[in-house]
Amino acid sequence: MTTSELAARVQASAKYQELTRKRTRFGWTLTVAMLIAYFGYVSLIAFDKALLAKPVGDGIISWGVPIGFGLIVFTVTITGLYVWRANAEFDALTKAIVDEAAQ
């Protein structure tokens, strides 16, 4: 079997279509969440500097620091979520597709 025949078999597979649909939808969902978070933070910087400059508690740090830290934690969290789902679901589908195409 040639490489092009194998590629055609993979692309025709229902599992491959499922994988690409799920992975694309999940990727776009995370992308939109990330864009909302970052544009929200930048919008706060642009339009409400006073809020970010307000001190938290006794005035040791301003609100900008925990909000910025939260954005970093959010980024790491959704990256971990993607890796977890890729390892749990997408890799299993990929293996099934490869096994099916190799037959």
Phi and psi torsions of 63, nearest 5° = -65, -20
Three-state secondary structure call for residue 8: helix
How many helices and strands in the chain, by DSSP H and E? 5, 2
pLDDT block averages, 10 residues each, the chain of length 103: 80 90 96 96 92 88 93 97 95 88 78
| 0.85 exceeded by pTM | no
Helix H, strand E, coil C: the string for 28-96 is: HHHHHHHHHHHHHHHHHHHHCHHHHHCEECCCCEECHHHHHHHHHHHHHHHHHHHHHHHHHHHHHHHHH
What are the boundaries of each domain within the chain?
Answer: 21-102
